[in-house]
Amino acid sequence: MQTIHPLADMTRWSNEVIASGSTIALVPTMGYFHEGHLSLMRLAKCLADRVVVSLFVNSLQFGPSEDLSRYPRDLARDSRMAADEKVDILFVPTETEIYALDFNTRVSVCSITDTLCGKQRPGHFEGVTTVVAKLFNIVKPHIAVFGQKDFQQLSVISKMTRDLNWDIEIVGHPIVRAEDGLAMSSRNTYLSSEEREQSLCLYKSVQHAKTRFDNGFTDAELLKSEIRDIILANSGVSVDYISVVDKDNLSDKEVIDSNSVLALAVIVGQTRLIDNYFMGSDTEISK
């Protein structure tokens, strides 16, 4: 595995690969790898000839009171893990190269960013789409792989890619869960042992939704009420949002069907966690 820092070196490498007739898959990350990240890398290796994993903690997607300064970072650890997965390139750009002092451009996707995490975190998705657009232009991938845990992010990036006519295939990977059912996240490292136990209310909520839908239940408002009770039964946990939305346009659903997604965000102690369930699907809750 080769580690590349300068943007120009990354683009030069990509141009050479493309000229040779090979394909490139990109896995954008903010680092502090876990099994979820590694699963994305493995999928990328199955889809393209060469794999680039980018590692960049994107300041533009963090709000003023969010966890940018304490977001977990360990480049040496991440480099070992990526090398073990035999990816071709670990691309680690610097903040000053990605966002020069005179950087004044933003890429914005409207409508589907006004709900769920976008509603609770103003400016977040503009930060996401801006950095992903830059990564696409620098790396020039044929395929980009993202996790479905960040369901809204995947939807927003897919929409941006279609709207801007990028010839890039966006691929989503099902949620990867720990043995106890908690969706893998770098932020899980913030949780104390007690908070970790409390956070399992997310997995219990997903299991409850699956059982209800499998048994023919379709009332979205009642399901959300039931899930709220499951979550708030845990002291120290508060609800950010509980929503049932259309998987394509993220609009609220009153009647649950196979095109619906249960989307959840909670605060456990000081840590914000998200989860989701594609109604009628088994893969999103498998461990």
As annotated, the active-site residues are 37
Pair 207, 136 in one domain: no
Pair 93, 224 in one domain: no
CATH number at residue 272: 3.30.1300.10
Pair 126, 158 in one domain: yes
Average pLDDT over residues 268-286: 83
| 285 occurs within a structural domain | no
Compute how many other C-beta atoms are within 10 angstroms of the C-beta atom of residue 90.
23
| 181 occurs within a structural domain | no
Model confidence at 282, in pLDDT bands (50, 70, 90)?
low
Model confidence at 281, in pLDDT bands (50, 70, 90)?
confident
Please report the pLDDT score of residue 1 as a whole number: 97
Please report how the helices 75-84 and 35-47 are oriented relative to each other, as an axis angle in degrees rounded to 10.
40
| 242 occurs within a structural domain | yes
- How many structural domains are present in the chain? 2
pTM, two decimal places: 0.95
| 17 occurs within a structural domain | yes
In sequence order, the 6+-apart residues with CB closer than 8 A to the CB of 1 are 79, 82, 83, 86, 87, 88, 89, 90
What's the rounded Cα separation, in Å, for the pair 216 and 199?
27
Give the domain extent around 272: 186-279
- Residue that is last in its domain, among 139, 173, 207: 173
CATH number at residue 77: 3.40.50.620
Q: State the average pLDDT for the chain.
A: 96
Pair 109, 211 in one domain: no
Pair 232, 120 in one domain: no
Please report the pLDDT score of residue 280 as a whole number: 80
Average pLDDT over residues 118-127: 94
The model's pLDDT over 179-219, given as tens digits with 9 standing for 90+, comes to 999 999 999 999 999 999 999 999 999 999 999 999 999 99
Pair 210, 169 in one domain: no
Pair 158, 195 in one domain: no
- Residue that is last in its domain, among 115, 140, 173: 173
The model's pLDDT over 32-90, given as tens digits with 9 standing for 90+, comes to 999 999 999 999 999 999 999 999 999 999 999 899 999 999 999 999 999 999 999 99
Pair 245, 150 in one domain: no
Considering only CA atoms, which of 44, 48, 41 is closest in space to residue 83?
41
Model confidence at 172, in pLDDT bands (50, 70, 90)?
very high
Q: Which two tokens stand for residue 234?
A: 């845990």
